[in-house]
Structure 1
Amino acid sequence: MAAQTANLRPLARSMSTALTTLRTTTYRAPVNRSAITLPCYMRSALVPRTQSRHSSYHSPEPVTNAPNARKKVTMVTLRNLYRKGEPIAMITAHDFPSARAADESGMDMVLVGDSLGMVAMGLENTTEVIMEEMLLHCRSVARGAKAAFIIGDLPMGSYEVSPEQAVQSSLRFIKEGRVHGVKIEGGEELAPTVKRITQAGIPVVGHIGLTPQRQNALGGFRVQGKTSAGAVQLLKDALALQEAGAFMLVLEAMPPEVATLITSKLQIPTIGIGAGNGCSGQVLVQVDMTGNFPPGRFLPKFVKRYADVWSEATRGMQQYREEVKSRQFPSPEYTYPITKEELSKFQETVDQTYERLRTGRE
């Protein structure tokens, strides 16, 4: 065995040297590839790729090494924005295309919110979303958002039982979902849970005010903090979560004055959604703000529609349908050519080939 290992060492050194040469050398045609000692399956990597891809099933990875590519947003980046008083822009995403759009738009943070249960899965509310579904969507978003800081929403039932359960769920989000941190809904009663998650080295975003996962206990999707007692409780929740280690808080559906006062008492940034512009940043559901929904659908008061994706998408699909029905599509520019010689050969043999195959099956 020792002799066999010794015999393999020169080959290993040769391959290591060749790989180092490939990494550090810029090759320009013509290249003397025969001078590179590599196995045949590795030499193919040197062949220029000139073949076009003839398939619709292609989702290219974002280009991260372009000269104008954004730097990766980190916890340090977010703290610096907060320290400078520059608002933090966050938006939701639930799949590869929506993540790409968010990243290309320069968003600081992308939230894989459990709101995807309604906007992407057609569920009645967020309480129906399960862990495996969130992990699937998180992985899809992580493939598309290469610069933004990604937060995954822990679904209902994945953290309430115990702090240990919450840590296990959070670890799955980081390892399997490939997000950078997790969001958890609840106030001071969840402070021990937030503390345990942060002790495991996982960034946590708290979420207080209107917490959709608890909408049954709240009597529906209702504005919170409209009374003095209610506002005081929100402040207590915020301070408790900050003390537990949350690095950011989402403040949802509360009077802007209350959100502004809470923000002023904290040493961590707040992200508002229906909480006014006195927060450290804002978040909206991407499907809502881009208008990717049919006419007549209910929208919360705090949603501003910045685009009309639904109308543009349906207009395009209606035109496509009409052109399919009238055989206008596909026109010649959308087809692949064949030479007259090859077509003539095919035409000469098509009947004989068809008849032979048909009689052979009978």
Structure 2
Amino acid sequence: MSVHPVEAAVSPAQRAPLSLPKLREMAQRGERIAVLTAYDATFARCMDDAGVDCILVGDSLGNVVQGEKSTLPVTLEHMAYHTRCVAQGRRAAWLVSDLPFGSYEASPRQAFDSAVALMQAGAQMVKLEGGGVTADTVRFLVERGIPVCAHLGLTPQRVHALGGFRVQGRDEAAAAQLKADAAALAEAGAAMVVLELVPSGLAREITLAHPGMLTIGIGAGAGTAGQVLVMHDMLGLTTGRRPRFVRDFTREPGSEPQAPGLSVAQAFARYAADVKAGCFPDEALHGY
């Protein structure tokens, strides 16, 4: 069965390719950064055309693509394959790819080899999970020309050690540890950090303390430099109970259940617009 090439139905205004300096400039002038996950060329092209700034090839593909109960079974080969697919679809968006569980923890050299595989597949930045213990690895990668996105708070690859999907940093000691981890990662050269399931006030503190490290929130309130959601969640395809921090962007807020929904392309555009306008997340509805 043949299919049409991956092309936008309507040619969008051509955006200049985004880079780390341009993303930093956006944050400096107060423009929020809109990030979504993607796993193939078609959705990546659609997001890019809709104005999404960054595309994350997340190891969440284990859950939403492979049907696994966690991200742990995802391999480096899986990540490289999906990164290559997404790279074929993007035009201007900055492309970040997850280092999967078991591909970077043993040593900085292991992390470098894994990062090279993802960069050769088309990634422009790699993401790894964990706090200060990963600072040496971050520094090793950055010194070798590999941009790094860190990930703090709820780190899905460590979900068993954390006791499940719970908000992190609620008590004073845990908050202090998160701030210390963020400082160590910023000092090591992490250019970006995902803050997942972190109290809004704490995420805002980390953002203000480290203006050179772009904070991307998911369940971390509106005080970060940008926001990220898993594509399937924001399209209303969440399996089971929808997390508090998720909004279904195929539905207009307050619309009746029988009202026509938005198309996928419209949902991506609405997400990007609402993140940039500060309409999403709503602290009362989506924050902790």
TM bin, normalised by shorter chain, reads 0.7 to 0.9
Between 1 and 2, higher relative CO (CA 8 Å, sep ≥ 6) is seen in 2
Match of 1:291 among 236, 239, 257: 236
Q: CA deviation at 1:300?
A: 1.3
Instruction: Give the unaligned 5+ runs of structure 1.
Output: 1-54, 314-362
* Letter of the structure 2 residue corresponding to residue 60 of structure 1: V
Evaluate the alpha carbon distance shift between residue 59 and residue 67 of structure 1 in structure 2; reply closer, same or farther with a 3 A threshold: closer
Distance (Å, rounded) in 1 between the aligned partners of 2:47 and 2:4: 19
Q: Deviations over 1:226-262 (max 9, x none)?
A: 0011001000010100000100111000110111111
The match for 1:129 is 74
* Letter of the structure 2 residue corresponding to residue 167 of structure 1: F
Distance (Å, rounded) in 1 between the aligned partners of 2:15 and 2:237: 27
Q: CA deviation at 1:88?
A: 0.7
The match for 1:77 is 22
Distance (Å, rounded) in 1 between the aligned partners of 2:24 and 2:44: 23
Q: Deviations over 1:58-92 (max 9, x none)?
A: 433569xx782111111121011111121111111
Residue 232 in structure 1 maps to residue 176 in structure 2 = yes
Retained in 1: the 8 A contact 2:139–2:188? Answer: yes
The match for 1:337 is none
The match for 1:333 is none
CA root-mean-square deviation: 1.9
Residue 253 in structure 1 maps to residue 197 in structure 2 = yes
Retained in 2: the 8 A contact 1:210–1:224? Answer: yes
* Letter of the structure 2 residue corresponding to residue 56 of structure 1: S
Q: CA deviation at 1:292?
A: 2.9
Structure 1 runs (4+) deviating above 3 angstroms are 60-63
The SS at the match of 1:128 is: coil
Report the structure number with the largest CA radius of gyration.
1
* Percentage of identical aligned residues: 47
Distance (Å, rounded) in 2 between the aligned partners of 1:91 and 1:288: 10
Distance (Å, rounded) in 2 between the aligned partners of 1:250 and 1:67: 29
The SS at the match of 1:126 is: coil
Match of 1:198 among 124, 134, 142: 142
Q: Deviations over 1:5-64 (max 9, x none)?
A: xxxxxxxxxxxxxxxxxxxxxxxxxxxxxxxxxxxxxxxxxxxxxxxxxx633433569x
**Structure 1 length-normalised TM:** 0.67
What is the number of equivalent residue pairs in this alignment? 252
Q: Structure 1 or 2: larger helix share? A: 1
Match of 2:87 among 137, 142, 149: 142
Residue 242 in structure 1 maps to residue 186 in structure 2 = yes
Distance (Å, rounded) in 2 between the aligned partners of 1:140 and 1:72: 18
Residues 181-196 of structure 1: pairs in structure 2 closer than 5 A: 181-196=125-140
The match for 1:59 is 5
Instruction: Give the unaligned 5+ runs of structure 2.
Output: 252-257, 262-288
Retained in 1: the 8 A contact 2:8–2:46? Answer: no
The match for 1:111 is 56
